[in-house]
Structure 1
Amino acid sequence: VFLISSEYSFPFRLKNIGFKLKDIKSNIYAGELSPAEIYKLLTNEWGVGPNLSKALVSLLGGHIYKIYVALEKLSQNLKYFRGTITAGQVSDIQSCIRLSQRDENMKMKMVETLTLLAVKGFVPTEGDVYCDPIEEIISEYNVGGIVTKDSYIQGLPDEIWDNPKSKTGLVPSSQSIRLAIAEVLVNANYMD
């Protein structure tokens, strides 16, 4: 079975309906393009001006669907448009922290994991895939998701798999969520 998805939480939804995730041999996550590629798409193919393209890429990274929604909202009602697309993402990050507060060790691990996602964009994981409660919470809220060495993820460099022990990892669900994670952690004094 090959899984193609733009959403990292999708395997957890499959697991919840009884799908055996070990049957998935390879994952392809197609949620984002690199900033250079999305800028080129916006300016050359979609006819968006360079300043608006830069603003969209700065706010939303290379997430095609989020940029499409922002442009749709903008075209429908320019007068009332506000670039606050990440509001829902912030509440999801805060939910991850809140849910981990049941146990002090779990909270510390959640903050550490979110910090690594914000700073490095990748957290190597250990143990069985899709079984760690921190990874499950982060994936359930689509703040990030589990990837395997066999997965294809746009923009994830091959050298992250140089450690032979690393077979799985956690990545942020988008560049904009990575920025939102950093903002939430700084505002809560978990990160400088």
Structure 2
Amino acid sequence: MLFRRRKKASMADRLREFFWPRKGLTRPARYLAKRILRLSASPHAVAAGVAAGMFSAFTPLLGFHIILAMALAYLMAGNLLAAALATTIANPLTIPLIALATFRVGEALLGITSSEAVTAAELFHRLEHLQLSELWQPVLKPMLAGAGLLGLVTAAIAYGVTRFAVRSFKARRHARLLARAGLSPTRTTAFSPGETTP
């Protein structure tokens, strides 16, 4: 096989790689950011797609994040691929934290005071074993309320940061292309590539 290891990894090495990859935990995030920045769409479309993906990742609708993200991105004239990629913020490492945060914020918004502190494990146990009618009031209602607030705040921040990053990335790339062609970047500061002039 072409890219096979010369020496077969031991079970201990595989476990270590699973929990702490050799290239670090930030490598997938850096790759994802570069993949989003290089999308051939306007800064607004990419930013709207990322915002839609971020918002949907905070909802308790596990398994439907991509569908919801793409629907929201379509309504906002956002990039569908950016929306799908941004939903990866909800992954096995972050889902317990997101679920617990939305539950706690939802309880605070609705004025619900729990008699006992609920952990992420207990929350997922309830989601797995209770019927929908039993879940709505104590679990889903607070989670949806918390997801609405946290999702909107995160989406708004993500939109602003992504739009600025995409505009800067496209402007730098445009300037590099002009420099290679031996042209002077006279209008690169007037507007970013991918956006029309007002």
What TM-score bracket applies, with the shorter chain setting the length? under 0.3
TM-score, normalised via structure 1 length: 0.27
Higher relative strand content: 1
Largest Rg, 1 or 2: 2
Q: Give TM-score, length-normalised by structure 2.
A: 0.27
Higher relative contact order (CA 8 A, sep 6+): 1
- Say which structure is richer in helix: 2
